[in-house]
Amino acid sequence: MRTILDAIRSVLSQKTAFPFNIIIVDNHSNDGTTEAIEEFASDSRVIHIIPQRNDLNIGGCWNLAVNNSACGRFAIQLDSDDVYSGDSTLTTMVNAFYEQQCPMVVGSYMLTDFNLNPIPPGVIDHREWTDDNGRNNALRINGLGAPRAFFTPLLRKMPFPNVSYGEDYAVALAFSRRYRIGRVYDVMYYCRRWEDNSDASLDIVRLNANNAYKDCIRTFELRARCELNDEL
């Protein structure tokens, strides 16, 4: 709850030449998050969704948001722990769709503490990604950066798996199988880590489970690409 206010303000402070909404999927929170979101009820750009279902993980919440009628042409991620790096993030990401002619754009981010002070390893930009190796490079790394941004009509056809880890990676691999993924190498996003952050101190059991899941995703994707190559 202490971070959702920062995240919402980060979106509402964006300066754009186009209209936008912020769609917040409040997955039955009981920590004051619901009340915090309601502070912005007077702003018509804030779309507060509480799922009717109780079985949604992060991927399922993503699907609920992008299929909402308030979701526009592009869906740009912001986790509740994090903030955009400035007031031009949305404009930069949307411009990249048109400039690079692609259905998905991934930015670069900086790891910070709760107060936005940089912490190691600092900037994550995946500069080893190139137009020539990007599609296959996605299979060699555990993530593609942030924020992840999607062309909404295609994302609705290629939904997220209903899991709470690796859901974005799975969709990115599926997109990159057939489509070019655009890149923004400037820092667009601050990924905050602190003592209560859910990603800050995973135990070895959870780390191993997460890595095993991504290995399963990669195996599935390799098979799918082999089948695609056979078709071609």
Greater confidence, 131 or 33? 33
Q: Give the pLDDT mean for 212-221.
A: 92
Burial status of residue 121 (CB atoms within 10 A of its CB: 0-12, 13-18, 19 or more) = exposed
pLDDT over threshold 60, residue 67: yes
Which pTM was predicted?
Answer: 0.90
Q: Is residue 135 within 8 Å of residue 176, measured between CB atoms?
A: yes
Contact 150, 103 (CB under 8 A): yes
Decide if pLDDT at 5 tops 80: yes
pLDDT for 204:
87
pLDDT over 80 at 174, yes or no: yes
pLDDT confidence bin for 229, thresholds 50/70/90: confident
187-215: burial string, b at 16+ Cβ within 10 Å, e else: bbbbbbbeeeeeeeeeeeeeeeeeeebbe
Is pLDDT of 197 > 70?
no
Q: Is the pLDDT of residue 195 over 80?
A: no
Share the mean pLDDT of the chain. Answer: 91
Supply the pLDDT for residue 206.
Answer: 83
pLDDT for the residue 146:
93
pLDDT for 19 equals 97
Average pLDDT over residues 28-52: 92
Does residue 198 register a pLDDT over 70? no
Per-residue pLDDT tens for 99-115?
999 999 999 999 999 99
How high is the pLDDT of residue 104?
96
- pLDDT at res. 201: 62
Which distant-in-sequence residues (6+ apart) come within 8 Å of 78 by Cβ? 7, 10, 11, 22, 84, 147, 189
Q: What is the pLDDT of residue 68?
A: 97
